[in-house]
Structure 1
Amino acid sequence: MNYTGLYSPFSLNRPLSEEDIKYQLRQDFSGMGKSDSLALADDAVIKMNSTYLELVDKYYNDRGMPEIFTFILSSMFISAAFLCIYFSIVELVKPVGSVFGFFAYLFMSIPSGAFGFFCYRLLRKSWFTWTHYPVRFNRKTQMVHVFKLDGSILSVPWQEVFFTRGRAGRGPMPECSIDGYILAEDKQTVLDTFSLGFSTERRELVKNWAFIYSYMNVDCLEELKDIIALCPPIAEKKESYLFGLQYMMRVDSRLEWFFTLTLLPLTLLGSVARYIAMRTSKIPSWSAEVEADCQFDPNDPINVSAANNPKHLWRYVLANQSLEEYNALYQRQEQAMNRLREKVQAQKNS
């Protein structure tokens, strides 16, 4: 889980690091990787039309799982603090009370309450906030619009963002994300940071970046439309409990069923925490300026949203579609990928 920026702040007002430069994702063909690994949508697209592509944030994917632990810990330690205060009062008022017991219970309430309050503050970073933090890429105006964690909106030209594959954690299997840096005039100092809705290994992020780059620069909207299989239905409404559970349980293969069943009790707890997060949070709203910048034709032939999701969603998320449905989706995506490779190669050669 990659929660840098939400639970721990991004490092700002700093120079670009060697890693930032090494793993930069450029707004040209050099950032697209090999032609056989293009355009992986990864269930992160909220909407796509001929004008803009809207993506979820990187926190949306695992929403609910961290909240289980922060809620349990905050409840336990805050309850323990109140119990300690209660017993200290009992020691003070009972006829044979102990002054030592009074101060001992009162002293124990301080670290319990402090840690419980700390966990509660972490919980509030997900509950009573926003349902998600979308990012829009406007193909026509070549602008990027970012709905930030504090509810403000950042708009910046596509070519002026320094994109890189940022890393969270220093362990043997750190998670990485596509981070966008807003640089100072010296083009070396990071003033602001946002992340896109992908969090995985660094080599896989090239595929996600290829999807975004293709949308912004290549005449391939029909191909990208055919690649997208699942869109979160969160553009104008809050996610339902059922979809949240489905999104948390989605797998790529039936071989993952064993792990899915093993983790099912934890997933069910997480789905409840996710539902509370969605119910207590507000739906993000773009400013009038962004909406004006992103106006699109209602009759646009490229109109991808949750309305295009698979008919049998449970079967899709559990990799258990009928053979007919699976073959139709596979052939559609494979043919779209082949057409996309041809277009990318033709544009490279032109």
Structure 2
Amino acid sequence: MDYAGLDYRNIRFPVDRPLSEAERAVRYQQKKASNAPPMDFLSVIEFNSNYIDLVDRWYSIKGFNTWFGMFVSVFGMAGAGVIIWAFFWAPVTEQREALWFMMIVLLPLALGLIWGGWWLIRTECGRWTHYPMRLNRKTRQAYFFRQDGSVLTVPWDSLFLTLGEEKSPLSGTTYDLRAHVLDADGETVRESFSLGYPSPLGNAESIDKFWAFLQPYMEAEDGVERTWRYLKDDAGYLVPVDGRKEGWRWSIVRSFMLGAHWPYLQLVFAPFLGLNAIGRMFAMWTSKVPKWPEEVERENPVEVDDPYVLTWRDNESIGWWELYWPLICTVIGVGGFLGVIVWIVSDLWR
């Protein structure tokens, strides 16, 4: 999947470089609104008159690296086990050259798979459940929870916002609303993060829609009411990670959300989506909940009488097609996948 910018073992957006002409050509100006229909792409955690909290670009796809990494590691361990058993304990045959080839060539490959799978797992597990971002409309400050637990605070108006583009072998070309923090020269990129990410299935027009959702909140005179009305009437759900880990129900809902309008496709892709839901649950269970520092909370109070406060607690109840059908698909998909694996293994050992 698209894990571009994930700062684990130095996989991150390129920094300490000049802005490119391509980035300048697709810049989003803070004062310039979009004519596209607004869409939040299920990215809002909390909303009020003072600030809006958003999830990071990796939140929507969380779980993939976990289950896939486990599969790769188990495959590698099984291969390594068979090779070691064959070399030391199998009946003596005349194929010692083949056994030495397995030990010298294939065993390192198996160990490499184990390491690679563990590396994938560590990109999601034992870290943070998500990396929130906060935009304060009144103080015009942007806060970004870094992957090492520190917080970047930068003026909203100083951010260089552009259309980010990445290429992934599995998801193809993906897009995000990229925020660059520039040096004093206004040319050199010192830090970058994704302010908005539609999904691996999004396109460049999706970023226009996200900008049409976000920009009015920060810039329009009636932005608070407009954004509140959209979240109440059109958005559907706010993400339930405000000071907590998401529950197993939401892990299933979020994993199957890509096919929310096509229940039959959810069943077709049930093995993939179901495994993603299981991996997501494990990743959330092993990770810590991010918490804004006290100084950030002091700078972002929620007014007692604010009529525009929204959190996940204001969500409508999750219905049959959002939860229970994906739950059935998860059981069918994961059960079918495990059944195929057991059948293959048993056939090999006959």
TM-score computed with the length of structure 2 as normaliser:
0.81
Amino acid of the residue matched to residue 139 of structure 1? Answer: R
Deviation larger for 2-11 or 267-276: 2-11
> Per the alignment, in what secondary structure is the counterpart of residue 181 of structure 2?
strand
Higher alpha-carbon deviation: 164-173 or 74-83: 164-173
Q: What are the residue-to-residue correspondences of 1:125-204 with 2, within 5 Å?
A: 125-169=123-167, 174-199=173-198, 200-204=202-206
- Partner residue of 1:27? 30
Contact 1:87 1:105 in 2 (8 A): no
1:297 Cα deviation from its structure 2 partner: 1.3
* Worse overlay, 6-15 or 143-152: 6-15
The one-letter code matched in structure 1 to 2:136 is: N
> Can you list the C-alpha shifts for 1:16-70, whole angstroms capped at 9, x where unaligned?
11221111111112xx222xx2432221100001111000111111212343322
Identity of aligned residues (%): 28
Q: Is the 8 A contact 1:145 1:153 kept in 2?
A: yes
Letter in 1 for 2:280: R
Shifted more, 117-126 versus 310-319: the winner is 310-319
Deviation at 1:314, TM superposition (A): 3.9
Aligned residue number for residue 238 of structure 2: 231
> In structure 1, what is the Cα distance between the partners aligned to 2:286 and 2:260?
33
Kept in 2: contact 1:134–1:147 (CA 8 A): yes
Partner of 1:261: 267
CA contact 1:251–1:318 (8 Å) conserved in 2: no
| Deviation (angstroms), 1:258 | 2.3
Is the Cα contact below 8 Å between 1:231 and 1:306 reproduced in 2? yes
Residue type of the alignment partner of 2:288:
K
Aligned pairs for 1:71-86 (under 5 A) are 71-86=70-85
Answer whether contact 1:180 1:194 (CA < 8 A) is retained: yes
Does 2:21 correspond to 1:18? yes
CA distance in 2, matches of 1:44, 1:117: 33
Q: Judging changes above 3 Å, is the alpha-carbon distance between structure 1 residues 136 and 89 closer, same or farther for their aligned structure 2 residues?
A: same
Question: Are the aligned partners of 2:196 and 2:210 in contact in 1 as well (CA < 8 Å)?
Answer: no
Distance 1:273 1:253 in 2: 19
Q: Quick one: distance in 1 between partners of 2:64 and 2:41?
A: 19
1:20-99 aligned at under 5 Å gives the runs 20-29=23-32, 32-34=33-35, 37-90=36-89
TM-score using structure 1 length: 0.81
User: CA shift at 1:105, angstroms?
Assistant: 3.6
Tell me the residue number matched to 2:335. Answer: none
Change over 3 Å in CA distance of 1:273–1:263 after alignment to 2: same
Compute the displacement of 1:191 (Å).
1.3
User: Are residues 318 and 45 of structure 1, via their aligned partners in 2, closer, same or farther at CA, if it must alter by over 3 Å?
Assistant: farther
The 1:109/1:253 distance shift into structure 2, 3 A limit, reads closer
Unaligned stretches of 5+ residues in structure 2: 326-350
Match of 2:314 in 1: 308
1:342 matched residue in structure 2: none
Deviation at 1:104, TM superposition (A): 3.1
* Change in CA separation of 1:317 and 1:58 when aligned onto 2, cut-off 3 Å: farther
CA distance in 2, matches of 1:267, 1:46: 23
SS of the residue 1:234 aligns to: coil
- Asked whether the equivalents of residues 252 and 323 of structure 2 are also in contact (C-alpha less than 8 Å), the reply is no
Q: Give the superposition deviation at 1:174.
A: 1.2
Return the match for 1:241 from 210, 224, 248: 248
| 1:170–1:282 CA distance, 2 compared to 1 (3 A) | closer
Residues 57 and 194 of structure 2 are in contact (CA less than 8 Å); yes or no, is this contact kept in structure 1? yes
